[in-house]
């Protein structure tokens, strides 16, 4: 390889440059989001792992089933029944969108547009 020294140095510089966010946050544990979970509830409608991986799919299915198919009840894997409603079901336990939804969503910079129509509990409270 010609100019091996220069090329390798440049590659290292590039790698360092592209990993800047990692170096800047190195050792900063507080950057990892800790969504506030409802205190008096042992479990969500499905397992923690399922909710973590598929909550967006679940919510979209809820919309389709309730609005488009007129099926307003979700029977969870453990047989428990839930009335399909973001505001009347989900947010009754997760009663603070900022502390629950936003803590992760801001971290991963994925901004949902649920809240341009659905009303978060803390927003409703301030409204009155």
Partner 1 sequence: MAIKRRDLLKLGGLTLIGTAASAAVGGVYTKPQEALKGSRWALAIDVVKCKENRATCGLKCVEVCHSLHNVPSIPDKKKEIKWIWEEKFEHAFPEHEANHYLNEKLHDTPFLLLCNHCDNPPCVRVCPTKATFKREDGIVMMDYHRCIGCRFCMAACPYGARSFNWIDPRPFIAKVNPEYPSRMKGVVEKCTLCYERIAEGKIPACVEACPAKAIVFGDLRNPNDEINKILKERLAVRRKEELTTYPSVFYLIG
Residues at the contact surface with partner 1, assessed by CB under 8 A: 45-46, 50, 54, 57-58, 61, 63, 65-77, 83-88, 116-119, 121, 124-125, 127-128
Task: Report the nearest approach of partner 1 to the CB of residue 80 (Å).
Answer: 9
Please say which residue, 34 or 72, places its beta carbon nearer to partner 1: 72
Please say which residue, 7 or 73, places its beta carbon nearer to partner 1: 73
Please say which residue, 74 or 100, places its beta carbon nearer to partner 1: 74
Task: Report the nearest approach of partner 1 to the CB of residue 52 (Å).
Answer: 13
Task: Report the nearest approach of partner 1 to the CB of residue 33 (Å).
Answer: 24
Query: 3-state SS of the chain?
Result: CCCHHHHHHHHHHHHHHHCHHHHHCCCCHHHCCCCCCCCCCCCCCCCHHHHHHHHHHHHHHHHHHHHHCCCCEEECCCCCEEECCHHHHHHHHCCCCHHHHHHHHHHCCCCCCHHHCCCCHHHHHHHC
Task: Report the nearest approach of partner 1 to the CB of residue 71 (Å).
Answer: 4
Instruction: Give the total residue count for the chain.
Output: 128
């Amino acid at each position: 390889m010609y100019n091996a020294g220069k090329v390798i140095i440049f590659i290292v510089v590039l790698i360092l440059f592209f990993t800047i966010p990692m170096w800047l946050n190195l050792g900063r544990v507080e950057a990892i989001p800790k969504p506030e979970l409802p205190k008096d509830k042992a479990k969500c409608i499905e397992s923690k792992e399922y909710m973590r991986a598929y909550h967006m799919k679940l919510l979209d299915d809820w919309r389709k089933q309730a609005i488009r198919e007129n099926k307003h009840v979700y029977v969870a894997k453990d047989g428990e029944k839930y009335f399909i409603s973001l505001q009347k079901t989900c947010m009754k336990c997760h009663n603070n969108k900022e502390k629950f939804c936003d803590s992760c969503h801001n971290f991963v910079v994925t901004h949902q547009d649920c809240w341009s129509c659905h009303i978060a509990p803390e927003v409703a409270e301030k409204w009155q």
